[in-house]
Structure 1
Amino acid sequence: MRPIVIALLLLFCDLTAAVTFDISQAISPSTFINTRNSKEQPNSAKFNLDADLNTVQMIRRAGYPAEAHIIQTQDGYLLTLHRIPGNKDQLPVLLQHGLLCSSADWVIAGKDKGLAFILADQGYDVWLGNIRGNTYSRAHVSLSPSDSRFWNFSFHEMGVYDLPAMISYITNTTSHPLHTYIGHSMGTTAFYVMAVERPEIAQRVQMMINLAPAVFVNHMKSPIRYLTSYINDFEMIAKFFGENEFLPHDSVLHYLSKYGCEMFNIEEEICANILFLICGFDKEQFNYTLLPVILNHDPAGASTKTIIHFGQEVVSGKFRRYDYGYEKNLLIYNATEPPDYDLANITVPVAIFYADNDWLVNSVDVKKLYRLLPNILDMYRVPFPKFNHLDFIWGKDALKLVYKRLLEIMKKF
């Protein structure tokens, strides 16, 4: 095996816990396992009982019913929808994760903290989406993930195909319009693409709630913005991060993502500090006992093309379709520049939640989004100065600081 530099970049999720190891010789997962087993007994945080469970298992372990539904998009991808079902009279809501994440992110915080559980306790029929290419949606009617054509998508296709398939399935199954769509980070990006490109589907959504909307991103403070200097060098990006799948979660990477903070006597506080460096420092809101669970589920899969599309947004300062370059843009768009998504025509009522210490989604960019949307229900700044990008889904006080207001908005609508 050639020398490997493994970086756990879980961005926009959107977790980026970057733990880098320079391995100068062939090392197998068994080597790491033996290293770990030879160490002293790890601390109790490593024995979080949810660490080896999937989304359905975590939901059931918390005492809730759980379902998994397989749906097909118009372009042939097979997606998994997870559900905490209500009765036939309960209103459906859809929670959509961010980049490199999955449905698990809404339940990782546990029974009294996870937004999926909180909504179920409030009497909603809770659906959890999984975007194409992630852990639960790695299938297609004719393409294999080993085929480069499988990964030929960005957040544009998620908005044009994935969300319409999810929303159509939910509304047809429940015979109710979707009461609320709740997106975190890229979960909001895909929604706005859908609302622009598929307005007939957006009409089935009564309300949309943004948690850290990643629509305009050129003011991000995170150091990852410096990677955008290489965004047009696809060969370089493909060489280091995967030509098709971004940071493929092979056996070595999976083991390191799960135990990396424990190996080589690296304290979990160091891992968290690197995470904070990417997303914003907030030790007060981070529950360290969740770290092994988080790293067991994230990164959950993404296409390199999606990463590049976001990088283009950082550079351009615009919210627009994928930039293929001068010549290919002419062929695809009949213009040298890709077209912008026209947010002014979106009619879905929208509530926006943002935080000052979010290093991935800057308040300047959030306010730009606010000015362009015609139907704003609420524009809410989290009243805690250290609140960061990840705290919207895993923060210790997310219920008090975010979810209570979110529930109030939902009840009024």
Structure 2
Amino acid sequence: MWPIVIAFLLVFCDLAAAITFDILQDISPNALMNTMRDNKEQLNSIKFNIDASLNTVQMIRKAGYPAEAHVVQTQDGYLLTLHRIPSNKYQPVLLQHGLLCSSADWVIAGKDKGLAFILADQGYDVWLGNIRGNTYSRAHVSLSPSDSRFWNFSFHEMGIYDLPAMISYITNITSHPLHTYIGHSMGTTSFYIMAVEHPEIARMVQMMISLAPAVFVNHMKSPIRYFSRFVQKLEIITHFFGKNEFLPHSDMLDYLSKYGCEIFNIEKEICANVIFLICGFDKEQFNYTLLPVILNHDPAGASAKTLVHFSQEIESGKFRQYDYGRKNNLLIYNATEPPDYNLGSITVPIAIFYGDNDWLASNVDVKKLYHLLPNILDMYRVPKFNHLDFIWGKDAPKLVYKRLLEIMKI
């Protein structure tokens, strides 16, 4: 026997979650599932959080709010699901999740805590995006997720295709410009790309709020940085999770979200500590009772190419397009190096929120972003917050959302 990191390995919400099990070398996820199913007596004795079985729409409705699901087609044929908490009182806002996450992340914290609910209580028409390849956006007009061509995208395509499709759809449906775009982590990355590459779409957005922006990432403190140089060698990942797709949601993850910590005698605190190891330690802000619900939704799937693109950013220290290698770069970009995204061209007013204890979006990298953006509304430091506290922190409503709402009323 030897220790192997398996299951939903790290990295949900910009590279963030893992559980380590001591299992046989030749065991596979299917074998693990069969073992868990065979242990019926133990499973039947375990109680689990019913909310861990609900999808985004069901969680919204259970909290007492109306909920809608809309399907949007991108210019390159992907079918994306937008979730909505409708209102006619104020203009629309769009919330965009990070890597390996989904729309669920904005409502997991529950009523009075989740940002989507807080915005709805203020009267905003709340839209929750889902980028291509995640649990709610695994469809294309002609390609199947089993086709490797489906997964030929990174956060660049999210910026040039997904966000323009979402924003155009929302503004057409509501007949209003987008009041505010709120992104967390990779949800900010894709916005900056969109604003650079499609300024005509950016003009439909009155304001943008960046929570823990993942733009420059080469100063991250997380152990993730040490794996970046190996990410292009995806043999281990593909052995467990399939070629071109990284950490899709699965039956195994459903079992682990409901029974994992208990059936393997792993305390919730230990499960959470692995998250802290990736994102930064902040036990005071983490609500351990949410863990089964979080693990039911995250990781929500991503393309391996997105992981490679982030690894390139870590190694280069730049915010630029995908590096295909010198030969292919010459064919694609007419240069040996990929072009940088021109952040200085962005005119949308932007507010930045960052945490002192964020091991993924470091203060150094966030300040570099700040100095390159020409139209900053606010640059707000949140003491002790780690990368995920901006969406699940116990005091996020008081320490982040209160100021966020004030900025939105400027």
Shorter-normalised TM-score: what interval? Answer: over 0.9
Give the one of 30, 33, 38 matched to 2:37. Answer: 33
SS for the counterpart of 1:81 is strand
For 1:248 and 1:81, the matched residues in 2 are separated by: 19
SS for the counterpart of 2:80 is strand
CA contact 1:242–1:304 (8 Å) conserved in 2: no
Give the one of 382, 391, 397 matched to 1:393. Answer: 391
Q: Deviations over 1:96-117 (max 9, x none)?
A: 0000000000000000100000
Alignment of 1:12-411 (within 5 A): 13-14=13-14, 16-21=16-21, 22-23=23-24, 24-25=26-27, 27=31, 29-35=33-39, 37-38=41-42, 41-42=45-46, 47-87=48-88, 89-235=89-235, 238-239=238-239, 242-382=242-382, 384-385=383-384, 387-411=385-409
Counterpart residue type for residue 393 of structure 2? G
Alignment RMSD (CA, Å):
1.8
For 2:405 and 2:248, the matched residues in 1 are separated by: 37
For 2:131 and 2:204, the matched residues in 1 are separated by: 19
CA contact 2:218–2:313 (8 Å) conserved in 1: yes
SS for the counterpart of 2:194 is helix
Which is worse superposed, 4-13 or 326-335? 4-13
Q: Deviations over 1:64-102 (max 9, x none)?
A: 000000010000000000000001x42100000000000
CA contact 2:253–2:296 (8 Å) conserved in 1: no
CA contact 1:216–1:366 (8 Å) conserved in 2: yes
TM-score w.r.t. structure 2 length? 0.94
For 2:217 and 2:41, the matched residues in 1 are separated by: 43
SS for the counterpart of 2:133 is coil
Q: CA deviation at 1:38?
A: 1.6
SS for the counterpart of 1:47 is coil
Counterpart residue type for residue 314 of structure 1? I
SS for the counterpart of 1:261 is helix
For 1:259 and 1:186, the matched residues in 2 are separated by: 29
CA contact 2:151–2:303 (8 Å) conserved in 1: yes
SS for the counterpart of 2:51 is coil
SS for the counterpart of 1:51 is helix
CA contact 1:7–1:19 (8 Å) conserved in 2: yes
For 2:40 and 2:15, the matched residues in 1 are separated by: 24
For 1:393 and 1:201, the matched residues in 2 are separated by: 26
For 2:9 and 2:349, the matched residues in 1 are separated by: 33
SS for the counterpart of 1:127 is strand
Counterpart residue type for residue 48 of structure 2? F
CA contact 2:86–2:125 (8 Å) conserved in 1: yes
CA contact 2:206–2:349 (8 Å) conserved in 1: yes
State the aligned residue count.
404
For 1:281 and 1:4, the matched residues in 2 are separated by: 23
CA contact 1:93–1:127 (8 Å) conserved in 2: yes
* Unpaired runs of at least 5, structure 2: none
For 2:249 and 2:56, the matched residues in 1 are separated by: 18
Q: Deviations over 1:39-77 (max 9, x none)?
A: 6844xxx63331100000000000000000001000000
CA contact 1:10–1:100 (8 Å) conserved in 2: no
Q: CA deviation at 1:238?
A: 4.1
Counterpart residue type for residue 406 of structure 1? L
For 2:253 and 2:113, the matched residues in 1 are separated by: 29
For 1:197 and 1:258, the matched residues in 2 are separated by: 42
For 1:322 and 1:335, the matched residues in 2 are separated by: 13
* Unpaired runs of at least 5, structure 1: none
CA contact 1:230–1:237 (8 Å) conserved in 2: no
CA contact 2:247–2:300 (8 Å) conserved in 1: no
